[in-house]
Structure 1
Amino acid sequence: MSDAPGIDPPPPADDRRPTADGLTDAQRSLRAQMLATEHWSLLASRSTTQSELLTRIAIFLTLVSAGLVTLSVLGNVTGFRGWFGVAAISVLALLALLGFITQTRVLNGMTEDLAYVIAMNRLRGAYLDLDPGLAPYLLSSANDDRLGAHRTYFPFGPRPSQPFASSMTVIASVESAMVGLLIGAVVTAFGGGTAVAVGVGVVIAAGWFVLWARIGYVRYREVFGTYTPLRPTPHD
């Protein structure tokens, strides 16, 4: 009893007392720690994946530069005659193969990155379940659907130039050029004229780029076609 008559002191704090969501303060604190640990794990995995993709792209671009310089040296030595055609096709075929492997890995990495973004959006939703007052301070989305992923990728609104500045566009452009050069070299080796070789190479390169752009778009749509969000974006 307090000194003031008729006034009882407030009950002592008890972290075992359940709150409105049925969790005690201790349970809420433990849940927040576990969510934060998972969040950091996702951040580390995303950073590792992006670092790996950039390293693979850098290695491929280095090999392309070295291969083209090698062909120019061989061309000066052989006068672009004799066995130069075989050497050119072999080098370009190797570069195209390495580019295909790198391009496939970058495409898979894009899907992984999207998965990390969705997972972190879900964790933000769990943070808001613990403390709804955090909502005004979150720049990234707490919704794990397609619109939520868009907001996390583009917090200040969509940027039309983003697809043209992506790593996938860079690797697809270089690989398309390699495939076009390879096909042009093969056409020349079989007696095709320069104009025919250039025309066929350009068409193949453009088709290769469009094909991979389509594959990337379909892969992106498939993710949200098979995934059921836990916290979809509310609509008016």
Structure 2
Amino acid sequence: MSQQAALPPEGVPAGSASVRAQLLATEHWSLLASRSTTQGEVLTRISIFLTLTSASLLSIALVGQASTFSDTFRVFAVVILGVLCVIGVLTNVRVVNVGHEDLMYVLAMNRLRAAYLALDPGIEPYLMASSHDDQAGSQHTYFWLGRRSDFSHVVGSSMIFISAVCAALIGLFVAALGGLFGAPPWLLYVLGFGVGLGYLALSSWIGGRRYYALWHDYEPVSPSPSAG
């Protein structure tokens, strides 16, 4: 049975099947390397952003104590928080983009597994990841030990994590800006929480909208049986 499974598809010479397997493996390794490089780059960006945030908030606290929270301190805090917000939003955009790039690599490798199965159907029981390059196939590849809640997957993602950090910084920035212009404390709380939560909701909505928009124009080569 194993010898029969190892035979190339009908009409494909054995030598040609061997060359195809080598080409597919080369492409697979290329995708793995690109995915690893992309993940390493975004993790470095996140680490730099969080380190900068920690150092900046500490400097704000130290300057506040040294200046007895004078008007000069308020200007300093607004400038530092404004810079952090810009860097944070740029980091958030990159994290969302990398999430879609990672999906791109997963779909490409799923498609390659379908090609492996075309060359040797007997290896199918040994593939844990999916060989279907559609939405269901990508979800199976991301987590193949049963069904995982979409809510926990999204809430625990790097996108939501960075969005939450950015939301807190933007809320602090808006509150600090309002304090600089003499707004009452209750208004500062409303502005800070309102704008922060608004950014978190907007960022999450944009990320989800882009994710679902990908599937409208995408056409899989080897869709899942249920999708067919």
TM-score class, shorter = over 0.9
Q: CA RMSD in A?
A: 1.3
**Equivalent residues in 2 for 1:187-198 (5 A)?**
187-198=178-189
Distance in 2, Cα, partners of 1:19 & 1:122:
18
Q: Give the aligned residue type for 1:42.
A: L
Distance in 2, Cα, partners of 1:158 & 1:96:
37
* CA spacing shift, 1:81–1:32, aligned 2, 3 Å: same
Which residue of 45, 51, 57 corresponds with 2:34? Answer: 45
Note the C-alpha offset of 1:20: 4.7
Q: Give the aligned residue type for 2:22.
A: Q
Q: Which runs of 5+ in 2 are unaligned?
A: 1-6
Deviations 1:127-179 (A, max 9, x none): 01101111111100000010000100111133332222211121111011111
Distance in 1, Cα, partners of 2:148 & 2:215:
21
Q: TM-score, length-normalised on structure 2?
A: 0.93
Check whether the contact 2:132–2:223 (CA below 8 A) recurs between aligned residues.
yes
Is 1:181 matched with 2:172? yes
Match of 2:4 in 1: none
Is 1:85 matched with 2:52? no
* CA spacing shift, 1:126–1:87, aligned 2, 3 Å: same
Is 1:218 matched with 2:205? no
Query: Higher relative CO (CA 8 A, sep ≥ 6), structure 1 or 2?
Result: 2
**Equivalent residues in 2 for 1:32-181 (5 A)?**
32-160=21-149, 161-181=152-172
Check whether the contact 2:17–2:119 (CA below 8 A) recurs between aligned residues.
yes
Note the C-alpha offset of 1:19: 5.7
Q: Give the aligned residue type for 2:196.
A: A
* CA spacing shift, 1:159–1:20, aligned 2, 3 Å: closer
Deviations 1:62-121 (A, max 9, x none): 000011000001100111112111101000000000001111111110010000000000
Structure number, greater radius of gyration? 1
Note the C-alpha offset of 1:46: 0.6
Distance in 2, Cα, partners of 1:40 & 1:19:
22
Q: Give the aligned residue type for 1:190.
A: F
Distance in 1, Cα, partners of 2:208 & 2:109:
22
Q: Give the aligned residue type for 1:134.
A: I
Note the C-alpha offset of 1:197: 0.5
Report the structure, 1 or 2, having the larger helix content.
Answer: 2
Q: Give the aligned residue type for 2:182.
A: G
The alignment partner of 2:71 has SS state of: coil
Moved more, 120-129 or 77-86: 77-86
Note the C-alpha offset of 1:21: 2.4
